[in-house]
Amino acid sequence: MTIKFKTIKEIKKMISQKEISNKEIVQEVYKLIDENIHLNAFVTLNEDNSLKKAEDLDNNPSDSPLAGIPIAQKDLFCTKGVRTTCGSKILDNFIPPYSATVIENLENAGCISVGKTNMDEFAMGSSNETSYFGNVHNPWGDKLVPGGSSGGSASAVAAGIVPAASGTDTGGSIRQPASLCGITGLKPTYGRVSRWGMIAFASSLDQAGPMARTVEDCALLLNEMCSHDIKDTTSLDENIPNFENNLNQSLKGKKIGVVKDLDLSSLDNDVVSVYEDSLKEFVSLGAELEDISLPNLSLSVPTYYVVAPAECSSNLSRFDGVKFGRRSENPKDLEELYIQTRSEGFGDEVKRRILIGSYVLSAGYYDAYYKKAQQVRRLIKKDFDEAFSNVDVIMTPTTRGPAFEMGSKGSDPIQMYLEDLFTISANLAGLPAMSLPNGNIDKKPIGLQIIGNFLDESTILNFGHMYQTKTNWHMHTPDGVKE
Which residues fall within 8 angstroms of residue 13, CB to CB, at 6 or more apart? none
Rg of the chain over all Cα atoms, to the nearest angstrom: 21
| CA–CA dist 13, 6 (Å, integer) | 11
Q: Which of 149, 300, 425, 458 is catalytic?
A: 149
Question: Residue 94, SS3?
Answer: coil
| CA–CA dist 268, 402 (Å, integer) | 10
Is residue 131 part of the annotated active site? The answer reads no
Closest by Cα among 210, 82, 107, 79 to 150: 210
Query: E-strand spans in 280-366?
Result: 288-292
Please confirm whether the linkage preceding 153 is cis (ω < 30° from 0). no
Beta 255-259 vs 393-397: how paired, if at all?
parallel
Beta 112-117 vs 476-477: how paired, if at all?
unpaired
179 close to 102: Cβ distance less than 8 angstroms: no
Is residue 149 part of the annotated active site? The answer reads yes
Closest by Cα among 269, 280, 259 to 390: 259
Which residues fall within 8 angstroms of residue 139, CB to CB, at 6 or more apart? 36, 39, 146, 155, 158, 159, 181, 478
Q: Which of 88, 173, 313, 435 is catalytic?
A: 173
Which residues fall within 8 angstroms of residue 49, CB to CB, at 6 or more apart? 82, 113
Q: Which of 12, 23, 53, 74 is catalytic?
A: 74
Per DSSP, the residues of 43-81 read EEE-HHHHHHHHHHHHHS----TTTT-EEEEETTB-BTT
**Residues designated catalytic:** 74, 149, 173
